[in-house]
Chain A
Amino acid sequence: MVLTVQEIGKCFGQQMVLQGVALSVAERQTLSVLGRSGCGKTTLLKIIAGLIAPDSGTVRLHGAEITKKPTEQRNVVYLYQEPLLFPHLTVFENIAFGLRLRRLPNNDLTHRTTRMLEHLELQAHAKKFPHQLSGGQKQRTAFGRAIIIAPDVLLLDEPFSSLDPETRASMQHLFKQLAQEYGIASLFVTHDLKEAILMGDSIGYMEAGKLTTFASRQEFINHPDYGARNEIEFWSSLRQQATNHDHAATV
């Protein structure tokens, strides 16, 4: 397993935010964590990233405990809901940011960043600043900036929530493609049922600080408590109705 989280607990004052949370993410796999706003998803991601210290429990990366390791030494990148690009840097410099921190030789840095720009179809925008980009382009830049340093785990906190449906769909597709290509393990947090099913190789459901994980998508879909089956049936019946209507119109 790349990432293993065991018995994580966290309180803010009197409020218990996380309680005995456990999960694991295998190599090249994405675990979707579905849950309503305020259920503790973001706190969980920030604990894994090292931005918040847990009250109890452990976080392991490739078997080694990293619970107390400084954030900058974990190689776990956290992506916010918004792209949060550095406004004073161009697209090229935003993507190259992590490589500059690692003091890569200039040739290598330029080569790798240019390749990433091509991959993300952002070559034409390399010299632009974030305010000159569309929402989708910003999000692609944010992905590029995260992936270029080959993180062990990528933590995504509802990264597509601010995008329109069309851009959202294309970004979901792009993310799956990049995750496969670069072999990245990821934890994808969302409150959107469809997105959770679409993005995750396995799925977890979080409610009031407790996480229930399912080994496969099918297991989650078949579970009666989470409404996935109802959702699928609703869309299937709608499609059936539309097909019948088209057939009747043709006749």
Chain B
Amino acid sequence: MMNTERKIYFLTGIKHSGKSNVGRNAASLIAREMNAVFVDTDDLIVQALPAGYSCIRDFYRREGKDAFMDLEYRTLKQYLSSVKEDLTFIIATGGGACDNTRMVSLMKESGTVLYLCLKEETLLKRIQKKGIPPFLDENDIENSFHTLFISRDREYRHICDFVVPLEDLKSIEHNGQVLASFIVHI
């Protein structure tokens, strides 16, 4: 099917909510019906990193949160202005996107913001399995994640256009289908 207009969906959510994996899967399913492109802002930021930084984490550690959010915003802005095709774009954002107010306004102006919503226990389990990120207290992971979850969940519910509830125990493929059908029908 030919796309007649450009549609941009931003996937937001707390770390490990499946923005990249589920998003990529959903994009490939949608691509069967119409032209769809999946973009991960992390990949864009890696390309945009100034010389001398080995990875995003390295940049964040040395330059701080504000500098990272500025880079995150500028990278996305530049990508969006380079987009000319009338396709469906599915863009995964970083777990802290809700704190980046300039980026939030940019997303709201340019497309539809979806919040991929999962239960706190599920996200905590994934985090425990995949390694503790630096923003959590490794001596009290449960409590520090609880505090983070409560504030981010509230923030994402507030900034998003729509909440997409994803199932806890289902596969990436299953959740990809859920997200794809949501995007096609919304």
Q: Do A and B bind each other?
A: no
| Chain B residues close to A by CB (< 8 Å) | none
| Chain A residues close to B by CB (< 8 Å) | none
